Structure formats: C-alpha cells, structure tokens
Structure 1
Amino acid sequence: MASFAERLRKRAGRLSRAQRQLAEFILHNEPRAAFMTAARLGAAVGVSESTVVRFAIALGYSGYPELQRDLQDQLRARLSAADRLVLAEERGERAETILDTVLRTDMDNIRATLTSLPRDRFADAVAALQRARAIYVVGHRSAAALAHYLGYYLQLMLRNARTLTQSGTVLEELMAAGPEDVVVAITFPRYARATAEAFQLAARRGARTILITDSVVSPLVEDASIVLPAKSESPSFADSLVAPLSLVNALITAVALAQPDKVRAALRELEDIWDRQGTYLKEERRSERIVGPGGPGTGDGLA
C-alpha cells in the first residue's frame, strides 16, 4: 500500500495550486495535520473543506478519512513516547476527561478490529497452531505482556509452546524452529527491532509465521505467512492493547474448541496438580475471610 509521500510523488504534477498548498502544509506540519479534521486543515491552509476532500481523492484515497488514517499510522511508527504525549496535549486531552476518551477509543479499536480482521486468516492461524510441532511466541517491550498471556495458555492446552521475550536469547532459541513449527510475533508501533529480527530468522528457517500487529502495512508483514491486524490507537503515549488482547483471547478459545477432548484432558490433569499444590484458594477459605467465626461483619473482609 503506497504511503502519502509515495502517492504525492506520483501525482504531484496533476495537482491544482490549492492542492499543492495542502500537500506542502502536511509535509511541513505532519504531527499536527495528521489529527486535523478536513475542515480544520482547510482553514489552516486557506481553502475549503471540499478542496481537502478532493485532494485526498486526487491522491488515490477513498476520501479524507483514509488519508488521515494513513498519516496517523505513519506518524505513530516514528514518534517517541514524549512526542505522543505532546500530541495528546495539543488535541486538548485533559486528566479529568481522559477516562471517557480512552475507553471510547478502546471500544472503537475493538469494533474496527472485528470489522476488518479477515475470518479466513483467523481460521488459518488456529489451524496452524493446532498442527504445529512447536510454537514460539515472541514479543518485546509492552507487547511482552501479550506474548506471555498467549504463550501461557497455549502451553497449558497444547504443551508445546514457548514464550520468548528476552532479547539476548531469542535468536538462539529460534535456531531450533523449522517448517513444522509456528512462530507468533506480536508488535505495535514503534515496532521492536528484536521482534523484527526474530521474525525474519523464523521466516528464513521456513517456520509458519503468524503476525499480530496494528496494520497490514507493518514493517514485519513481508515475513508473515498470516497477518492478524488489531487496532492499537490511543489518545496517549501508551498503545492500547485492548483489541489485541481480545484477538489473543479469541485465538486461545478457538484453539481449545477445535480440539476439546485433548484440551479438556490437559486441563483436568493440571487441576489435579494445582489442587495438590494448593495453587488457588479453596472456596471455604474464601468464605472464612468474608464471614468470620463470629458471623457477618467479623471477618477480615475482602483482600
């Protein structure tokens, strides 16, 4: 998919004077322009909102919203955490209203992911995980939390999963991967270099590669057998991992439902081990803490 700059280079000679002014403004004010509405962008340049819309179409976009998403995606891949916080301040985000903004953005991310994620690609990923001799789940920095979560449950169910989040040893461990194995990489802007290098190695070794990322234009896509995009847009410097986590939950559940007998047997064996080890609080112990020996109100309470 061509970027804004590539589209502009190809079509610059066919743009009107007003459209060239818009292009120049965006190139010199990209962090601001990426989050402007069509009306605000037009006002900043001194042209009408309809001119902004026609400019987007002239570049080959379906409309201004698609151009804006392209600018935002490219911007997120380059901005530092401090830059992103400055942008949030420039957009007027405030501590007293941010709760509503963040939760609404997370809901929008889930809706967008649900709408855009190809169902056949999801089914392919589930089938690949089922058939894999070994599964390697790779994720660094904030994505390490998702990698641990996915790897933990895959190991519980299938007993052939390894979670790789330590940059210094990931490449060495992936040297064992081959065509019968699956490598899952999880990464979001600004895309961890260690994850990209591990994914490239997995692809070179012939492993089936599954990528969970924010966009089909992620730099890791060329090494992926299967791409599962999940929106991670956020009004803050921290990426939203809500939609990616929902996608990971769906993968875990789909794998379990695809081979229920095997997973059920594994979980029952684990439950026996957990019971013997006292891994979880027993129901009667929780009740004793809520209602003490002297009756309601005399226990230690919830903790």
Structure 2
Amino acid sequence: CGNILTASTPDISTTPACEGTITYTYTFTDCKENTHNWVYTYTIERADFTMPDNDGKTVACTADIVAPTVPAVTDNCENTLTASTPVISTNPTSEGNVTYTYTFTDCEGTAHNWVYTYTIDDTIPPTIPVLADVSGECTVTVVAPTTTDNCAGIITATTSDPLTYTSEGTFIIHWNFNDGNGNNIIVNQNVIVDCGGVVLACGKILVHNAFSPNGDGINEVFVIDNIGDACNSDNTVEIYNRWGVLVFETRNYNNESNYFDGVSRGRTTISQSSGLPTGTYFYILNYTSVDNDGKIITNKKDGYLYLTK
C-alpha cells in the first residue's frame, strides 16, 4: 500500500572480547502483523599495533644496571597493553651487553618485543696507591698490596718479581693492578735490605715490628731496642695506617714513658677510646746516634708494623 513502516528498537548482539561480529537486528511489521528482519553486521578484525623503538644505555659496571622504565604501549583500539615480566640476559664476566626483553601482547595474541640494552664499558683504571718502601735487616718478605676499583672493589696486585729478598741492596717490585675489564696500572715499590745494621756505642737499634695491645701484659707496646740510650734519645717516631693517615707521632720515644700502645695520637685522632683496629701500619723512625768514634750520625728506619689484639 506504500505505507512507510517504522523499524523496531534494534536487537544488538553481545560485543566479542576481541575479534568477531556485532549485529544490529531491526524488525519491520505491517498493519496485518506481517514481520521481516533487517540485519546490519559489524565485522571486528584487529589490526597490528605499533611499538616504540628499542632503547639502551652505556654504563661502567654491572652494579649500575637497574630495571629500565617500560614505555606505554597501546593496541590499535587505544587499549593499554601490559608488558610481560622481563627476560634478562646473563651478566658478562667483564664488559659486554645485558638486555631486558619485555613482550607486549594484544587480545588477538599478536605479540611484539621491546628490548632495552645496557652496554658495559669500563674505562676507569684502578686507583693508584702510594706504596711505601719496605725495609728490613738481611731478609725482607713483601706482602702484595691492594687498591680500589670503581667496579671490582678491592684489587690485590700481582707481580712476576720475587717477594722475598735475602741479599743486601735496594730492589724494585713492579706491581700490576688489573681490574679484569682491560684497565691496569703498574706501581713500583722499593725493597731495602740492610745486613750491616747501625752499630752504636750504646747498642744496636732493633725494631720489633709486631705487638698486641690486648691487656694481657705481654707485648703491649711497640718496642724499639736501645732507643732510650743516652746516645740516641733524640728521635722521632711516626706511624701511619694503610691509607696514609698519621695516627701517632712523638719525639724522644723511649719504650717506657713515651711509647705507642695502639692508641691514636697523631695529627688526626682516630677512636682514642677503643684504640686502633688490628691491621698493618707503617712506621718511620728518625734518630741520631753516636758511632764508636764519637761521631753523630743521622739515621732513618721505616717498615711495616703489625698490630694484633
């Protein structure tokens, strides 16, 4: 009859979780209750999503590596995608790369990786230590020194030179400090062996280079034999810790009323109440002496001093 029919309210199908179809069904009914449906179908097909560029950073040490900030990634429908737990590559033994790989997956299962690469490039050499001369009478054994490194921490030196010397003279040990990342330094140390000693009218100076100030009444102070004799009482004693800090100094050291008992008494005072810690120290003894002919001689002795408790 040419009458325009009005469509019903559409019956809308359930929205799929990802891909699929959505239908809108409209019903047209005439005056005699004749009905027909008209269906409009949306086909949903996800397009691939775009990833940001991979990123990275150069660091000196593996200790500088932390989990990177992950970029925001959305699918083609502007839904924010969540990154997976990263897959982290194994740390290299020295220099090399460490990667953090994150996977982003949309509802269709399309996945892309975002990779953050740390390049480890250590160009900083170990700290150059100041190595004092090692001296002794007739036999001298040297302990390998240490230094610090920005990545390796404490480094112990190596050498192809001998560590024990039994003949008189001055020798040089060439110490190699290597951080394992291709950075190394060579530091020389003098070894002085004196088999003659200094003979004094009042007796020979002999330094006892170990003592234990622990309150048991035995070996409580740093003893220098014959230092209190009248012919060599004019002396100075300086003691340094391993970092070169002066922890004790005095004039006219005598083992009895003016001595070092493990308590700091230098330009920089360190823990006077508890005493200095166990460790290796370095002493410098300057003194004048009178030889058998009555001549005044200026002398110097130095070396390691071991303090234990």
- TM-score scaled by length of structure 2: 0.21
RCO (CA 8 Å, sep 6+): is it higher in 1 or 2? Answer: 1
Higher helix content, 1 or 2 = 1
| Greater Rg by CA | 2
- TM-score scaled by length of structure 1: 0.21
